[in-house]
Amino acid sequence: MSCTTVLVGKRASNDLSTMIARTDDGYFDVKKLIVVNPDKQPRKYKSVISHLEIELPDNPMRYTSCPSVDKKNGIWAATGINAANVGMTATETITSNPRVLAADPLVRYKKAERRGEKDVAGGIGEEDIVVLVLPYIHTAREGVLRLAELLERYGTYESNGIAFNDENEVWWLETIGGHHWMARRVPDEAVVIAPNQFGMDEFDLNDAFGAQEAHLCSKDLREFIRDNDLDLNQDGVFNPRDVFGSHSDMDHIYNTPRAWFMGRYLTPKSHIWEGPNAEFTPESDFIPWALIPDRKVAAEDVKYLLSSHYQGTEYNPYTSHDTGKRGMYRSIGINRTGVTSICSIRSRVPDEIKGVEWLCFGSTTFSAALPLYANVSKLPKYLTDVSLKASTENFYWGSRLIDALADANYATSIQQIERYQNAVFTMGRQIIHQYDKKMIESGDYTLAGEANEKLCAMAKKQTDETLTKVLHDASTHMKNGYNRADN
């Protein structure tokens, strides 16, 4: 599934939180946000796509989940924060190359072709990973290790990147072929940008096979590289992107331009992104995986990055004049996104309220991001009661309706959209600040549920008002408009 990921280290953020964020770019998947309590977590899991059955531990924690409403292809939980204040987002589909996939083939489901033969189950994938990992981990590093164990045992049928965060650390794992993997701790002062490509461009194998302070990998990774002639590096410098990733023409249209826009936003002073002396262009294969931003990064910045359509450049598909390059690159904020989340684990508040999940349904370009306390036993109906039928009574469909109307009338609607997004950010933060103080002073952390109800009531009011405005605007621009004075 084509997605975009942003990871923010603790000292790169404005409030000493860690953040992991991803657009879940399915095919217009209808999504909802729920809480999975321990008694609702399966003890035996069966994948719809790969037909794999896995016995699960008997001690799951509560966690939030953003599953698909239509279960025909499985759960697809996408993202969540558990009761131990560990966040997870899965997965970012990444690229590989034929050398890797030949050496360690993907593990795909094989249906029996003849009578007497048995179906052969496939490995794990995006459908499964959050459900199999998030309820059982207490730190981001534990998330890497549990997922690694599952990959080595069952394999995977796709190439993916998976993020974990806790109060202090952010980890990023990338799969290599069917069973191999490598993971790196995001530097505290850095922001990682990942646009559907194998991303890591540096990796300390000595640390991975030694102290394991910031690098982890398959136990046989060195032999795997050597025995399959995978090392393309020169001068002894190990760049995993060159070894395990891709450098295709399609990358230059679909993937690298997204990294270019995000890097351009994060480091406008410390790197040159445009002009004849540019260090990086939209089609550069060597845009860094991790950057130290020129200023601290807030949730609003992450949302802006994940809403990008190359605004301010000649590639913007919404520009009013034809630049000759308009719309030539794949935007980050696209129409078929189901959900975008920012899992924020905060440092300077009690454990009971560390986890805040910013949620945005539909196309990020036009939708608003709503903060929610994650450590609750249930969530408001505005988030959970979603069906396949369009309705203004939930955040998902309200967002989708705004998206479709505003996109068709961008020039006249964008001002309303900006006001809407800023209002939800502003009032959302106000409610979080109010309830942080109230809960810390009273010691009653069950008030998080009340706060979430207020947050959703605010979001519904703002969404309904904005929908009314963009609907009116779209109506005035209908092609069958006519006045007697037109004669």
407-441 pLDDT, tens digit per residue, is: 999 999 999 999 999 999 999 999 999 999 999 99
Closest CA to 36 of 65, 57, 59: 65
Task: Write down the pLDDT at residue 247.
Answer: 87
Give 65's pLDDT tier (boundaries 50, 70, 90).
very high
Give 152's pLDDT tier (boundaries 50, 70, 90).
very high
| Distances from the Cα of 52 to the Cα of 20, 45, 109, 118, angstroms | 28, 8, 8, 13
* H helices present in 307-389, as ranges: 381-384
Examine the pLDDT at 485 and tell me if it is beyond 80. no
Closest CA to 448 of 368, 352, 381: 352
Closest CA to 32 of 92, 84, 79: 79
* H helices present in 306-443, as ranges: 381-384, 395-408, 410-442
Angle value at C-alpha 79, between 108 and 392, nearest 5 degrees: 115
| Residue-averaged pLDDT of the chain | 96
Closest CA to 159 of 140, 180, 143: 180
Closest CA to 353 of 448, 483, 422, 266: 448
Examine the pLDDT at 484 and tell me if it is beyond 80. no
28-47 pLDDT, tens digit per residue, is: 999 999 999 999 999 999 99
Task: Write down the pLDDT at residue 487.
Answer: 62
The torsion of the CA quartet 41, 346, 377, 6, rounded to 10 degrees, works out to: -50
306-338 pLDDT, tens digit per residue, is: 999 999 999 999 998 889 999 999 999 999 999
For residue 248, give the 3-state DSSP assignment: coil
Give 486's pLDDT tier (boundaries 50, 70, 90).
low
Task: Write down the pLDDT at residue 84.
Answer: 98
Tokens of 123: 């490995």
Q: How far apart are CA 57 and CA 214, in angstroms?
A: 27
108-139 pLDDT, tens digit per residue, is: 999 998 888 999 999 999 999 999 999 999 99
Do residues 435 and 455 make contact, with C-beta atoms less than 8 angstroms apart?
no
Mean pLDDT confidence for 140-162 = 98
302-341 burial by CB neighbour count: b if 16+ within 10 A, else e?
bbbbbbbbbbebebbeebeeeeeebeebbbbbbeebbbbb
- For tokens 């083939």, the residue is 105
Task: Write down the pLDDT at residue 2.
Answer: 78
Task: Write down the pLDDT at residue 236.
Answer: 84
Q: How far apart are CA 37 and CA 376, in angstroms?
A: 10
User: What whole-number percentage of the chain has pLDDT above 90?
Assistant: 95
343 assigned to active site: no
Closest CA to 199 of 167, 232, 239, 139: 239
Q: How far apart are CA 284 and CA 259, in angstroms?
A: 9
Mean pLDDT confidence for 361-366 = 98
Q: How far apart are CA 355 and CA 258, in angstroms?
A: 28
Examine the pLDDT at 91 and tell me if it is beyond 70. yes
Domains in the chain (CATH in brackets) are: 4-365 (3.60.60), 389-478 (no CATH)
Mean pLDDT confidence for 218-244 = 94
Q: What is the pTM of this model?
A: 0.97
Examine the pLDDT at 380 and tell me if it is beyond 80. yes
Task: Write down the pLDDT at residue 47.
Answer: 98
Task: Write down the pLDDT at residue 234.
Answer: 83
Do residues 333 and 309 make contact, with C-beta atoms less than 8 angstroms apart?
yes
Enumerate long-range contacts of 174-177, CB under 8 Å, 24 or more apart. Answer: 174/94, 174/198, 174/199, 174/200, 174/240, 174/244, 175/94, 175/151, 176/96, 176/100, 176/104, 176/218, 176/221, 176/224, 176/244, 177/96, 177/100, 177/101, 177/103, 177/104, 177/105, 177/106
Q: Burial, 446: exposed, middle or buried (Cβ in 10 Å; 0-12, 13-18, 19+)?
A: exposed
pLDDT-wise least confident of 234-238, 275-279, 329-333, 443-447: 234-238
